[in-house]
Amino acid sequence: MDPRTQHRLIETAKHTAMILICLMALFPILWILTQAFKSYFDTIAVPPKIFFKPVLDNFRQVLMKPGFLSSLKDSLIMALGSSVLGLILGTPCGYALARLTYRGAGSVGFFLLITRMVSPIVIIIPLNRVFQIFGLIDTHIGLILAHTFINIGLVVWMMRGFFQDIPESLEEAARIDGCSNIQAFYRIALPITAPGLAATTIFCFLFSWNELMMALTLSSIQVRTSPVFIISEFVGYLAVEWGLLSAAGILTVLPMLIFIVAIQKNLVRGLTMGAVK
């Protein structure tokens, strides 16, 4: 076989394998997407229907279902609130770790890594009690604070990486002109890392939006985020309401799927807290 034909054959095999892998990655997402557009009898049909008449009933019913829209609203408040608070608290520390040499910097970094890695179960039980005492249980503010805890280590480590990426000469020039380190941080470095801030915000938003354990234990009646709503509303009679469940699921994950594709350039950095760029 001449080398060109052989090369073409190998390329075709590679793309075929890749397409099969992509289908496996995509299949469950396509599956709830189609289930969401099926009529009640089509969702439970045996054999499962690949071709069917699409209907919008499930979406109509889910949107009218008490609590669904307010769960999306609660998720939005949580995700926005905890992202913003996490960035406000964490970005300065990320800058300090990137630019300043001080005793204990390594320990601060490691401590922040631990807060990110350890399961929140270890603080949820005591936090539940503390929140009850301070009236924070089942409130927006309480859950925003809890989700900020989940994201703060990520913010510091990610922003540290973004600050290290920018050349130090600008800040040095500013310091020669009489800027303090803190002024150099918010006047010079912060505006330059705007894309990094945006990527970090999206990550925080995503993690908060999808978070289950804290949302389940520190709220769930007055404040009910979307994962909690789905798990408590559909789990009992799952076998009957597949169409509704799918519609609710799709509406919940669609914005996140768009987000994750939008941040793919910074995906690796965000998921490894800056360990791999």
Counting contacts by CB under 8 A, is residue 196 touching another protein?
Answer: no
**How far is Cα 47 from Cα 23, in angstroms, rounded to an integer?**
21
**How far is Cα 26 from Cα 143, in angstroms, rounded to an integer?**
32
> Applying CB under 8 A, what is the total number of residues that bind another protein?
103
Counting contacts by CB under 8 A, is residue 137 touching another protein?
Answer: no
Instruction: Map tokens 């397409």 to a residue.
Output: 19
Counting contacts by CB under 8 A, is residue 273 touching another protein?
Answer: yes
**How far is Cα 59 from Cα 49, in angstroms, rounded to an integer?**
19
* Residues 221 to 250 in contact with another protein, rule: CB under 8 A: 226-227, 230-231, 234-235, 238-239, 242, 245-246, 249
The token duo for 217 is: 């234990």
Counting contacts by CB under 8 A, is residue 129 touching another protein?
Answer: yes
Site string for another protein, 201-220 (x = CB under 8 A): -----x--xx-xx---x---
Counting contacts by CB under 8 A, is residue 179 touching another protein?
Answer: no
Alpha-carbon torsion (145, 151, 153, 156), positive or negative = negative
Which amino acid is located at 142 in the chain? Answer: G
**How far is Cα 198 from Cα 262, in angstroms, rounded to an integer?**
11
* Contact pick of 35, 71, 151, 219 for another protein (by CB under 8 A): 35
Cβ 88 to another protein shortest distance, Å: 7
The token duo for 257 is: 């799927």
* Contact pick of 6, 12, 70, 272 for another protein (by CB under 8 A): 272
**How far is Cα 165 from Cα 34, in angstroms, rounded to an integer?**
44
Q: Which CB atom, from 62 or from 245, has the smaller least distance to another protein?
A: 245
Counting contacts by CB under 8 A, is residue 180 touching another protein?
Answer: yes
Cβ 74 to another protein shortest distance, Å: 14
CA distances from residue 124 to 48, 119, 142 in whole angstroms, order as listed: 42, 9, 12
* Residues 87 to 126 in contact with another protein, rule: CB under 8 A: 88-90, 92-93, 95-96, 99-102, 105-106, 108-115, 117-119, 121-126
Q: Which CB atom, from 18 or from 194, has the smaller least distance to another protein?
A: 18
**How far is Cα 242 from Cα 32, in angstroms, rounded to an integer?**
9
Counting contacts by CB under 8 A, is residue 51 touching another protein?
Answer: no
> Length of the chain, please?
277
* Contact pick of 15, 67, 70, 222 for another protein (by CB under 8 A): 15
